[in-house]
Chain A
Amino acid sequence: MFDAEMFMFWLIASLTGLCAIATVITQNIVRSATWLLFTLAGTSSIFFLLGADFVGAIQLLIYVGGTMVLVVFGVMLTAQGPFVNMRTSGAEWAISIVAGLMLLGVLCFGLTSFQNLPTGEALAKAKDAHTKQRKANDPKTSTHASTIGQALSGVGYGPIYKRMPPLPPTKDAKGNLVTLPGVPRETERIHYLLPFEIVSVHLLVVLIGAAYLARAKRRRGGKA
């Protein structure tokens, strides 16, 4: 049977991998940046294929749109000629490629020894449930942008994890046991408000730091 998802995955994955390899082996930095652009776009396609629409869109916006423009501007501002080659010697290449292949081997070996994953029928069931949730558009369980927004804004998502225990029955004025309606139950959901705030402050610090570091202070041509 022709499996469209399988076909798309292998197509996109092989293109992305080839672009990544081309990024490494190109000596010209502008071409390297262009191959990186294709790699990033391929990664976002992988995200779309996985069903993570929001993350894929953000990947396109921030990485492909923002970071790549930054890198290309950096290349433009620091180029000493139109085609600058800073060659790496053959011995360094050999050592790096051997070390890289060994690293890849270790990583793949680690993947095969990773046990705690759903496989076979359990995996199919999980994927099925996931697809159903996505189709049902249930904001509590689906991985929509709204769910991510709830998780980041502190509203929280998913089931309510902690409840205050119900109040014990108490005696009223006549001595009867009554169950008071009690205080509203305290709810607590998983949310990521604190990391979100930390990232906000981090971005502010990055903004100030980058502006301070790259301020216009021309001291070209060696010392002062």
Chain B
Amino acid sequence: MSEGVALYPYLVLGALLFTCGVICMATKRNAIGVLIGVELVLNGSNINFVAFSQYNPDFQVEGMIFALFVIVMAAGEAAVALAIVLNFYNNHSTVDVDSAEELKG
């Protein structure tokens, strides 16, 4: 194969974004930082979906449609999560996730 990019670099990029998102979720203490990590994870999966849709002929439309569904889900998830964060901030005057321990068993 002489021209073009193979599939693997795209998948590695998706894996890199996924890992960055997981580390972001684990290390950030700001609730919005955790949300940013979730967005990174979803973007990594989206890169995988679209890359597969372009490189696998049987998956041409499905990959894009799943990517669109993921984007819509991410938008909804961001809205609900930010609403929860705002509510939490109204009650506790902080967005530090370490102080959210009322549901601790």
Closest to B29 in A: A86
Chain B residues with Cβ under 8 A from A221's Cβ?
A: 93
| Contact B83 A209, beta carbon cutoff 8 Å | yes
Q: Least Cβ distance of A196 to chain B in Å?
A: 9
Chain B residues with Cβ under 8 A from A218's Cβ?
A: 90
The one of B8, B47, B55, B87 in contact with A127, judged by C-beta atoms closer than 8 angstroms, is B55
The one of B3, B65, B85, B94 in contact with A192, judged by C-beta atoms closer than 8 angstroms, is B65
Q: Least Cβ distance of A140 to chain B in Å?
A: 11
Q: State the main secondary structure of chain A at its contact with B.
A: helix
Chain A residues with Cβ under 8 A from B86's Cβ?
A: 74, 77-78, 213-214
The one of A40, A50, A96, A143 in contact with B51, judged by C-beta atoms closer than 8 angstroms, is A50
Chain B residues 42 to 63 lying within 8 A of chain A, measured CB to CB, are 43, 46-47, 50-51, 53-57, 60-61
Residue-by-residue, is A144-163 near B (CB-CB < 8 Å gives 1, otherwise 0)? 00011001100001100000
Q: Least Cβ distance of B47 to chain A in Å?
A: 6
Chain A residues with Cβ under 8 A from B69's Cβ?
A: 195, 199
The one of B16, B84, B93 in contact with A222, judged by C-beta atoms closer than 8 angstroms, is B93
The one of B9, B28, B53, B82 in contact with A9, judged by C-beta atoms closer than 8 angstroms, is B9
Chain A residues with Cβ under 8 A from B82's Cβ?
A: 70-71, 73-74, 210, 214
The one of A5, A124, A130, A143 in contact with B64, judged by C-beta atoms closer than 8 angstroms, is A143
Chain A residues with Cβ under 8 A from B92's Cβ?
A: 222
Q: Least Cβ distance of A179 to chain B in Å?
A: 35
Give complex CA distance A113, B65 in Å: 26
A104 at the interface (CB under 8 A from B): yes
Q: Least Cβ distance of A3 to chain B in Å?
A: 6
Q: Least Cβ distance of A93 to chain B in Å?
A: 6
Given contacts A39-B43, A222-B92, contact A117 B7 (CB under 8 A): yes
Interface residues of A (CB under 8 A from B): 1, 3, 5-6, 9-10, 13, 16-17, 20-21, 23-24, 29, 32-33, 36, 39-40, 43, 46-47, 50-52, 54-55, 58-59, 62-63, 66-67, 70-71, 73-75, 77-78, 80, 84, 86-88, 92-93, 96-97, 99-101, 103-104, 107-108, 111-112, 117-121, 123-124, 126-127, 129-130, 141, 143, 147-148, 151-152, 157-158, 190, 192, 195, 199, 202-203, 206-207, 209-211, 213-214, 217-222
Name 17 interchain pairs, CB-CB below 8 A, sorted by A.
A16-B13, A23-B40, A40-B39, A46-B50, A67-B74, A80-B93, A100-B20, A104-B19, A111-B15, A118-B55, A120-B1, A130-B60, A147-B61, A151-B65, A192-B65, A207-B79, A210-B82
